[in-house]
Amino acid sequence: MLELRNVVKTFGKDVRAVDGVSLTLDCGVVGLIGHNGAGKTTLMQMIATLTRPSGGQILFDGADIVARPQEIRRRLGYLPQDFGIYPNLSALEFMQYFAALKGVRDPARIRYLLELVNLHEQARRPAASFSGGMRRRLGIAQALLNDPDILIVDEPTAGLDPEERLRFRNLLGELGFDKLVIMSTHIVSDVESIAGQLATMDAGKLISCATPRVILDQARGRIWSANVGAAEYEQLRNRVSVLHAQREGDQVALRMVHGASPCDGARVAEPTLEEALMAQRHALRVAA
Ligand SMILES: Nc1ncnc2c1ncn2[C@@H]1O[C@H](COP(=O)(O)OP(=O)(O)OP(=O)(O)O)[C@@H](O)[C@H]1O
């Protein structure tokens, strides 16, 4: 459905925000993971035809989206990172406004979407009174007006409380049953239970795109746990990549990524997805 071929985006002479990304995506939720500045937003903006690639090609159902942007625009919903609402409008008025812009004439669609995002009871309240999570849900409802096949959401969970995060995550998971949902985040737990695939970016490059299961499998045998004294910890941290260190009395409980046992008494540990992704980056650094 969506194919990226060696996509590049440069800004000026020095910044390669996206650096040769190739990727093929179909239905389901894809978590786009990476640190600040990894290139996630730029990549998503290119897919959304808000900015043009400097090189490479993006194909949607086989058609080049630069040559034929209307094809993808008609079938795409986009929730930008800095999504703003018009505070004087109610949720209903906001949806009616965007429905008019997008040529959606069916009032039942608006009602359906406000129910889907669980804002129907607050539909007549000014959006100015909404919490961050409610605003984000209104943003999703707006992005779904045209019943898109691709939904792109840029860091939708930033700043949300745990309950809203959970609600938002479930909503996106359900939408991923019959759409391609691309969601960027640097919080792995926000996508781990819903993403069929995780695409990891670092410095503009795609490090990997794989299922959580494959990423976990790749890390197995390389994550270690150990309890060591403070002095040994100081030595270890200089030669081993420590993922987590927690002081417990005069001991430090460690989680580490290492190709072989990093110290006496270290035990192979079952990786969490976050650790597995860190192990991926570690492997890249070692290989570089
Ligand atoms: N319009 C622009 N002009 C110049 N540089 C830019 C522009 N947009 C992005 N960049 C640079 O491109 C790189 C990638 O930025 P991008 O916003 O895509 O990363 P990101 O992974 O989305 O980060 P964040 O999680 O902070 O949103 C960064 O170095 C950024 O400073």
In this model, does residue 242 exceed pLDDT 90?
yes
The number of folded domains in the chain is 3
- Assess if residue 167 is contained within a domain: no
Q: Is residue 249 assigned to a domain?
A: yes
Q: Say whether pLDDT at 22 is over 80.
A: yes
pLDDT per residue over 254-265, tens digit each? 999 999 999 999
Quote the pLDDT of residue 179.
Answer: 93
What residue owns the CA closest to ligand 1's atom 10? Answer: 17
Give yes or no: residues 116 and 64 share one domain. no
pLDDT of res. 29: 96
Residues 122 and 14 in one domain: no
Looking at the fold, whether 196 and 241 belong to one and the same domain comes out as no
Whether 132 is in a domain gets the answer yes
* Angle between helical axes of 132-143 and 107-116 (0-180°, round to 10): 140
Q: What is the pLDDT of residues 151-203, one digit of tens each?
A: 999 988 877 888 888 888 898 999 999 999 999 998 888 888 899 999 999 99
Count Cα atoms within 13 angstroms, Cβ side, for 183.
Answer: 33
Same domain, 138 and 153: no
| Predicted complex: ipTM over 0.90 | yes
In testing the pocket of ligand 1, which one of 8, 32, 41 has its CB within 8 Å of the most ligand atoms?
A: 41
* CA-nearest residue, atom 29 of ligand 1: 37
253 inside domain: yes
pLDDT of residue 132: 84
Q: Are residues 65 and 156 in the same domain?
A: yes
User: What's the CA-to-centroid distance between 42 and ligand 1, angstroms?
Assistant: 6
Q: Are residues 99 and 62 in the same domain?
A: no
Question: Residue 204 C-alpha to ligand 1 middle, in angstroms?
Answer: 9
* SS3 state of residue 140: helix
**Residue 96, in any domain of the structure:** yes
142 with 205, same domain? no
C-alpha 230 to ligand 1 mean position (Å): 39
Higher pLDDT, 93 or 282: 93
Residue having the nearest C-alpha atom to atom 28 of ligand 1: 37
Specify whether 110 is located in the same domain as 248: no
Residue ranges making up the domain that contains 233: 217-287
In a domain, 134, yes or no: yes
Q: What is the average pLDDT across 105-128? A: 92
Q: What is the pLDDT of residues 198-221, one digit of tens each?
A: 999 999 999 999 999 999 999 999
Same-domain pairing of 262 and 223: yes
How large is the average pLDDT for residues 107-116? 94
What does the mean pLDDT of the chain come to? 92
pLDDT at 85: 81
C-alpha distance from residue 76 to each of 7, 39, 69, 170, 203 (Å): 19, 20, 11, 20, 26
Task: Find the 130 Cα to ligand 1 centroid distance in Å.
Answer: 29
* Residue 204 belongs to some domain of the structure: yes
255 membership: H or E segment, kind and range? strand 251-257
Does any domain span residue 252?
Answer: yes
Which residues line ligand 1 at a C-beta cut-off of 6 Å?
11, 15, 17, 34, 36-42
The DSSP secondary-structure symbol of 120 reads G
